[in-house]
Amino acid sequence: MAILELRDLTKRFGATTAVDHFTLSVEKGEFVSLLGPSGCGKTTTLQMIAGFETPSGGSILLNGRDLRSVPARQRGLGIVFQTYALFPHMTVEENVGFGLEMRKVPGDERRRRIAAALDLVHLSHLSGRYPRQMSGGQRQRVALARALVIEPELLLLDEPLSNLDAKLREEMQLELRRIQQEAGVTTLLVTHDQSEAMALSDRIAVMQGGRLIQEASPFEAYDRPTNAFVSTFLGKSNAIDAHLEETRDDGAVLRCGDIRLAGPPSPARPGPVLISLRPERIELCDAAAAHVSGRVGERIFLGDQWLFKVETSLGELLVVRPNSGRREPEPGETVHLSWRTEHLRILAAEPAA
């Protein structure tokens, strides 16, 4: 059952349409991420749900109740901002309990809920500290506890991890997912970080230019992107210009310059298309088994893996290989590349600029 429904939600600022007929349903207990580049409309969408922006059109339903005429303070939503917005003169306990105090929750009940929220985020032992005495990750958990203590129907997260360094951000992703699952709260996250969205979410809603481009599980969005934008925005991808010559129930025939390739079945019509191929799906092989050969132009060590840029007749291809400790090809070497047919994704060609 959907707890949140956005129906044709639209926001215009003068002649600019920031959110364009956006429709999305979020199920109870689900973790959904709005993912896209800066300026795609994801934060504006969140602000309309929170009540900080007024929609130009469409509706926002929370458990069937239309929120458009409900003031922000009366929507009962938990919100965690990018800056956390903690009160510096209040202790952790006082910060967490502020929303309950504003709601006139009785003292005994307030103390019980504060203690439960602090226990959930593993900060009970720091209840008497002030924000300035805490690390970034701890402050982020205080902000989460403050949002959760009011027992919201919906938790809104506005890039809450973006101010943390890379290692701490990775740790906090695991912590945030644990907290959300233990609390069982329906959560909507706004982020431009693809790995964050994929690590945390049950579903991802990819946005571009104010529109919803693809809505899917992280695996499906990554493995079966609907267009070139999703393919390149969600991780690294090779986009290869091709011509779809024929498509049958058992597969497709593609031509890339002088090279003919077999592809998976595709609903696309014959004509110009793009082939999407993930770098980790490409394997090194013997010359006889190769789809294409090329010369290593660049080799980059990433710790747990190697990234190669290989110059081929299909263009420059990115190839990712796990760091196995064995010798890897060096710049200037000729390598032979292959892949499984089902790992190719045939996408509509991008319109000419």
Q: Minimal CA–CA distance to 67: which of 46, 41, 84?
A: 46
pLDDT tens for each residue of 303-317: 999 999 999 999 999
Strands (E), the chain: 2-13, 16-27, 31-35, 57-62, 65-66, 78-80, 154-158, 186-191, 203-208, 211-216, 238-248, 251-256, 259-263, 271-277, 283-284, 292-301, 305-312, 315-322, 334-338, 345-348
pLDDT band of residue 344 (cuts 50, 70, 90) is: very high
Per-residue pLDDT tens over the stretch 120-136: 999 999 999 999 999 98
Distance between CA atoms of 92 and 114, rounded to whole angstroms? 10
Length of the chain: 353
Mean pLDDT of the chain: 93
pLDDT, tens digit, 9 for 90 and up, residues 177-190: 999 999 999 999 99
Q: Are 156 and 180 in contact (CB under 8 A)?
A: no
Q: Which amino acid is at 199?
A: A
The helix/strand/coil state of 2 is strand
Number of H helices, E strands in the chain: 8, 20
d(C-alpha 55, C-alpha 9), whole Å: 7
Band (pLDDT 50/70/90 cuts) for residue 160 is: confident
Q: Which of 31-35, 102-106, 215-219 has the lowest mean pLDDT?
A: 102-106
Could you give the domains of the chain? 2-228 (3.40.50.300), 237-348 (2.40.50.140)
Give how far the C-alpha of residue 184 lies from the chain's centroid of Cα atoms, to the nearest Å. Answer: 20
User: Any bridge partners for residue 208, and if so which?
Assistant: 211
Q: How far is CA 255 from CA 96, 123, 231, 258, in A?
A: 61, 59, 20, 7
User: 170 phi and psi, to 5 degrees?
Assistant: -65, -40
pLDDT class of 291 with cuts at 50, 70, 90: very high
Q: Is a pLDDT exceeding 70 seen at residue 37?
A: yes
Q: What is the pLDDT of residue 350?
A: 67
Mean pLDDT for 139-168 is 90
Within 10 Å of residue 111's Cβ, how many Cβ atoms?
14
Apex CA 60: angle with CA 78 and CA 103, to 5°?
A: 35
Cβ pair 58, 42 in contact under 8 A? no
What mean pLDDT is predicted for residues 290-298? 97
3-state helix/strand/coil string of 152-193: CCEEEEECCCCCCCHHHHHHHHHHHHHHHHHHCCEEEEEECC
- Model-level pTM? 0.89
pLDDT at 78 over 90: yes
Dmax (CA) of the chain = 77
